[in-house]
Structures are given as C-alpha cells and as structure tokens.
C-alpha cells in the first residue's frame, strides 16, 4: 500500500516491536532476541493497537516476591496506598504496601495502612514546612529506607509504584528522590509514579512544590527518572463522580486506588488480552514521553451506554486533569466486562470499536494497547480505564507553573537549582513537540487496522 509517497506494509506484516534489522520481537522486548540490537519504536510505522504480552501468572506460585511494591510518600501517599490495599482485598498478599512520612498526625487510623507498614523519615518530629526541598533533605538523610524496601522484596517486584500528592513537601521532595535511588539500591523493576496535582485554588506554595517535583520525576541528576508518571489534579477529581458495582459512590482516594488496581491486576497466566506492566513501559523511554492522563468509567451498564464507544465517551467527558487531546501519542485501554457479556462482546469486536474511537478522538495516537479481562458477575457492566500519554503538558501544569513563577523569587532554592527545574520543563516540552511533529509529518492520518488477538 502506498500513502503519502511511503510504502506501508499491511498491518498483519508489521511487527509490533521490530529491531533495526527487522527481527520481530515480543511487544515488551527492549533488546532484540535475535541480534541483541536496542529496539526503538518506528514512529513512522502505521498506527496500530499492539497485542499485549502473555501474562506471567501469579508470582507467588513460584516465589515469595511481591508483584507490585506500592510505596506511599507523605500523608496522602500513605492514605492512597492504604485505600488501595483495602480495595485489592483478598489479593493483597500478591503485593507489598508501605508508606513513609516525616510526621504523623494523631489520627493515625485515617491513613488506612496498618501501623507496621508505615515508616518514619527523619529522627525527630520535624515536618517539611510544606517545602519540597526539606522533604528531599529528610529523605536523603534517612538511611533505613533502602533496607526497608529490600526487606519488603522491592528488588524482586515487577514494579515499584510510588504514590504521593505533589503539593506536599514530603511527597514532592521525597518521592522523586526515592525513585531516582531505586536502581542504585538494586531495585530494577518498572518505576511508576502517581502524582496528585494540587487543586487550582490551593496556595502557590503547593504549586511550587508540584512544578518542582514533576520536573524531578521527569529527570533527576541529569537522568530520566521514572518509566511512567500518571498525573491527576485535585480540582478535576473533586468534580468527578463514580460508583462501584454495588452503586456506592467512590471517594476521591478510592478513584485513584482503582486506577492503580486496574494496572496491577492481570488476567490468568498465559492470556494475551491483559495489559502487562512491561507493555506499559515499552515505548516511553524511546519516545521520551513519560506522563499519562487517566480516564475512568466504572460500572457502566451496556444497556444504558449501548457499547464500548458510549463508555469511552463517558470517560473522556470527565478528564481527571486538564488535557490536550490533539497531541496525545500513546493510549492504553484497560477494559473489564461482566462475564455474562463474554459471548456477546468478543475481543476482536471490542478491539475494532476501540480502534475506530481512538482514531477519531485521539488523532495523534500512534501506539496503543488494548487489554480485556472479565469480572465474575451476571451483570451487564463495563469498567474502562484509559491512560493517554505524550500530550503537551502546558494545559495540565498551567496553574502549577503560575504558582512556581510567583514563588521562585522568594524561595530559598538556589538559582542554579531553579535553572535545572526550568531547563527540565523546557527540554521536556521540546521533546514532546518534536515527537508530535514527527507523528504529524510521518503519517498524516492513521489508517492501520488493529492487530488481531493471538489465540
């Protein structure tokens, strides 16, 4: 097929992940299994939905290692990990859940994480004064953190997922620092961060922390830091409403915990239709695009919403942060449907419906995964979570940038450190614009048909 002067292979011939020498590889492969060359995504290849990797199954069947190690940093981070642990319920033994903070309020039970899973950063009861620099300092001086993570098996986990509010001093200062230390501590699983941006009406100091912390999540000491950064914003979260299968409205923190739960829950071993953590982090480093916006539609009745398209539209109408949809290059859909819909809605049909939807709604989307799993109930419900990434960040961090700009002159952060923060944001924005331009120039509109699910 010829298009815009380029010869495109039919979709069935395009390896999702081929090396520079053209050898096909599993989607999650970073190096070619045949010649060992590093695999880079060919951004000019036709857009397609990738087939997820086979799931590895319950890791506890062969080892005692946690699958995911969830780490909360700061008060909100700990609350989120505690909420997630409750949500995961009977599967909680598959993962490790822990939290770090420099100070604890007397309402310890509000953290929802058992006391023995929560560790203090620093020796006295000194807080951070809601200042990221102090949060970072306390974390760097707290030598037991490494040992605690190793004792919890973080070095054997497939992923370390760190959760925090980016407005707080501990989360925005300690989180990025701890993330950057993981590989030096022998912890080599996927590095996922989930950061909650402050609400628009919060003080500039919170936004100063958020803008600085986000820069350090993107790059820390001149190196890329995380494999994936999921961002959401407390203003959008406050407006968002959703219910669980029993019709109960979820709290803000349960919404965030649901996002993590959907990422960490895989289908049965050997299935191809469940998105695996390695699928999620395959392309970000080569594309230099790490951040994602989550969209969520929970417990949507197919009788009311009609089809997957209706469910996706419902999620898309209620973003969890301000978002530039026209420039989003990556999209991953996690779909759970009631078992009773299994015959009526096949993977292939849902895949082509999703493909049509994303081509219309996300015109720059080049890389996509679609994962499907089933819930054991007799209802007619769908849960959809979409992670959309690589879009220009300006609308998302506009308010935090304003707060940062107003606070930076009076802050005690050195001019050199402020320059680093500014440079990281400038460089990242440049990388995202370049990526978007390459997508525009390389392909025009995306016409590829979705890849078929392997049986």
Ligand X SMILES: Nc1nc2c(ncn2[C@@H]2O[C@H](COP(=O)(O)OP(=O)(O)OP(=O)(O)O)[C@@H](O)[C@H]2O)c(=O)[nH]1
Tokens 């509010």 -> residue: 165
Choose which of 52, 66, 167, 371 interacts with ligand X (CB under 6 A). Answer: 167
- Alpha-carbon distance of 453 to 196, in angstroms, equals 35
The entry of Mg ion, ligand X, none that residue 52 binds, CB within 5 to 8 Å by partner kind = none
Q: Decide if 80 contacts 100 (C-beta within 8 A).
A: no
Binding test (CB under 6 A) with ligand X, winner from 11, 96, 170, 350: 170
Report the candidate in 332, 375, 368 with the shortest Cα–Cα distance to residue 446.
368
Tell the smallest beta-carbon distance from residue 165 to Mg ion (Å): 9
Q: How far is the CB of 199 from ligand X (least distance, A)?
A: 6
- Assess 66 for contact with ligand X (CB under 6 A): no
Close Cβ partners of 316 (under 8 Å, ≥ 6 residues apart): 295, 325, 361, 386
Q: Measured at the alpha carbon of residue 58, what is the angle toward residues 145 and 111, in degrees to the nearest 5? A: 40
How far the first Cα of the chain sits from its last, in Å, is: 27
In angstroms, give the least distance from the CB of 74 to Mg ion. 5
- Which residues share a beta bridge with 386? 295, 333
161: its two tokens: 């997922």
Q: Residue 427 and residue 92: Cα distance in Å, rounded? A: 39
Minimum CB–partner distance for residue 412 and Mg ion (Å): 19
Q: Return phi, psi of residue 125, to 5°.
A: -90, 20
Q: What x-and-dash track marks residues 11-50 binding ligand X by CB under 6 A?
A: ----------------------------------------
Piece of the chain touching ligand X by CB under 6 A; list 4-12, 14-22, 84-92, 128-136 = 128-136
**For residues 191 and 177, is the Cβ–Cβ distance under 8 A?**
no
- Ranges of H-type helices in 141-296: 144-151, 169-181, 204-218, 234-239, 252-264, 277-280, 284-287
Stretch that binds ligand X, among 9-17, 168-176, 267-275, 408-416 (CB under 6 A): 168-176
Q: Segment contacting Mg ion (CB under 5 A): 33-41, 67-75, 141-149, 332-340?
A: 67-75
Q: Which is nearer to Mg ion, 127 or 322 (CB)?
A: 127
Residue 403 interacts with, from ligand X, Mg ion, none (CB under 5-8 Å by kind): none
- Nearest CA to 309 among 345, 258, 363, 256? 345
Contact segment (CB under 5 A) with Mg ion among 72-80, 221-229, 325-333, 421-429 equals: 72-80
Q: Which is nearer to ligand X, 52 or 167 (CB)?
A: 167
Judged by beta carbon distances under 5 to 8 A according to partner kind, the member of ligand X, Mg ion, none in contact with residue 99 is: none
* Beta strands 48-50; 6-7: pairing state: unpaired
Whichever of 75 and 284 has its CB closer to Mg ion, that residue is: 75
Contacting residue, 32, 98, 193, 196, with ligand X by CB under 6 A: 196
Q: Is 136 in the site for Mg ion (CB under 5 A)?
A: no
**234 binding partner (options ligand X, Mg ion, none; Cβ < 5 to 8 Å by kind):** ligand X
75 binds ligand X (CB under 6 A): yes
157 counts as binding ligand X under rule CB under 6 A: no
* Member of 128, 236, 274, 314 binding ligand X (CB under 6 A): 128
**Inter-residue contact 162 to 77 (CB < 8 Å):** yes
- The rounded distance, in Å, linking the Cα atoms of 40 and 327 is 20
Q: Is 65 in contact with 154 (CB distance < 8 Å)?
A: no
- What's phi and psi for 191, nearest 5 deg? -110, 105
Selected from 130, 146, 408, 438, the binder of ligand X by CB under 6 A is 130
User: What is the rounded distance in angstroms from the CA atom of residue 328 to the CA atom of residue 360?
Assistant: 12
Residue with tokens 């809605």: 345
Among 75, 136, 227, 266, indicate the residue that binds Mg ion (CB under 5 A): 75
Instruction: Report what 169 binds from Mg ion, ligand X, none; CB cut-off 5-8 Å by kind.
Output: ligand X
Contact characters 228-257, ligand X, x per CB under 6 A: ------x--x--------------xx----
Query: Looking at beta carbons only, is 75 or 136 nearer to Mg ion?
Result: 75
Task: Confirm if 52 and 276 have CB atoms less than 8 A apart.
Answer: yes
Q: Binding string, 354-373, against ligand X, x = CB under 6 A? A: --------------------
308 binds, among ligand X, Mg ion, none (CB under 5 to 8 A by kind): none
3-state SS class at 248: coil
Count CB atoms within 10 A of the CB of residue 407: 19
Tokens describing residue 427 = 């460089």
Nearer to Mg ion, 79 or 401 (CB): 79
Dist. CA 154–CA 187, nearest whole Å: 6
> Does 101 participate in binding ligand X (rule CB under 6 A)?
yes
Q: Toward Mg ion, which CB reaches closer, 67 or 75?
A: 75
**Where does this chain bind ligand X (CB under 6 A)?**
74-77, 79, 101, 127-128, 130, 135, 164-165, 167-171, 196, 198-199, 202, 206, 234, 237, 252-253
**Where does this chain bind Mg ion (CB under 5 A)?**
75
């Amino acid at each position: 097929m010829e298009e815009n002067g380029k010869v495109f292979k039919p979709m069935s011939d395009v390896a999702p992940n081929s090396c520079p020498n053209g050898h096909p590889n599993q989607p999650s492969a970073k190096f070619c299994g045949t010649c060992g060359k590093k695999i880079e995504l060919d951004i000019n290849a036709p857009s397609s939905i990738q087939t997820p990797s086979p799931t590895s199954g319950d890791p506890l069947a062969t080892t005692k290692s946690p699958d995911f190690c969830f780490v909360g940093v700061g008060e909100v981070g700990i609350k989120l990990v505690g909420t997630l642990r409750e949500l995961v319920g009977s599967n909680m033994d598959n993962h490790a859940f822990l939290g770090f903070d420099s100070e604890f309020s007397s309402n310890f039970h509000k953290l929802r994480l058992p006391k023995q899973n929560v560790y203090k950063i620093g020796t006295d009861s000194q807080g951070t004064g809601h200042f990221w620099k102090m949060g970072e300092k306390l974390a760097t001086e707290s030598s037991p953190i490494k040992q605690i993570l190793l004792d919890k098996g973080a070095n054997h986990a497939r992923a370390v997922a760190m959760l925090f509010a980016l407005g707080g001093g501990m989360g925005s200062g300690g989180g990025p620092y701890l993330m950057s230390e993981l590989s030096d501590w022998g912890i080599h699983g996927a590095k996922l961060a989930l950061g909650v941006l402050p609400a628009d009406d919060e003080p500039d100091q919170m936004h100063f922390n958020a803008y600085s912390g986000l820069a350090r999540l993107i790059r820390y000491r001149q190196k890329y830091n995380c494999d994936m950064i999921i961002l959401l914003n407390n203003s959008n979260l406050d407006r968002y409403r959703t219910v669980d299968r029993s019709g109960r409205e979820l709290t803000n923190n349960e919404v965030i915990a649901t996002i993590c739960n959907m990422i960490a829950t895989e289908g049965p071993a050997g299935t191809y239709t469940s998105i695996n953590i390695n699928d999620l982090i395959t392309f970000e480093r080569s594309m230099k695009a790490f951040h994602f916006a989550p969209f969520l539609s929970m417990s949507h009745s197919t009788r009311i919403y009609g089809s997957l398209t209706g469910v996706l539209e419902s999620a898309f109408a209620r973003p969890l942060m301000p978002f530039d949809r026209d420039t989003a290059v990556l999209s991953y859909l996690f779909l759970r449907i009631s078992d009773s819909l299994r015959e009526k809605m096949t993977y292939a049909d849902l895949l082509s419906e999703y493909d049509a939807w994303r081509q219309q709604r996300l015109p720059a989307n080049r890389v996509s995964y679609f994962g499907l799993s089933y819930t054991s109930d007799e209802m007619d419900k769908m849960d959809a979570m979409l992670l959309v990434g690589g879009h220009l960040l300006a609308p998302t961090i506009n308010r935090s940038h304003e707060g940062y700009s107003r606070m930076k002159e009076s802050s005690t952060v050195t001019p050199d450190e402020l320059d680093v923060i500014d440079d990281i944001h400038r460089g990242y924005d440049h990388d995202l614009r370049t990526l978007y331009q390459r997508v525009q120039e390389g392909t025009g509109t995306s016409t590829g048909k979705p890849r078929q699910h392997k049986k």
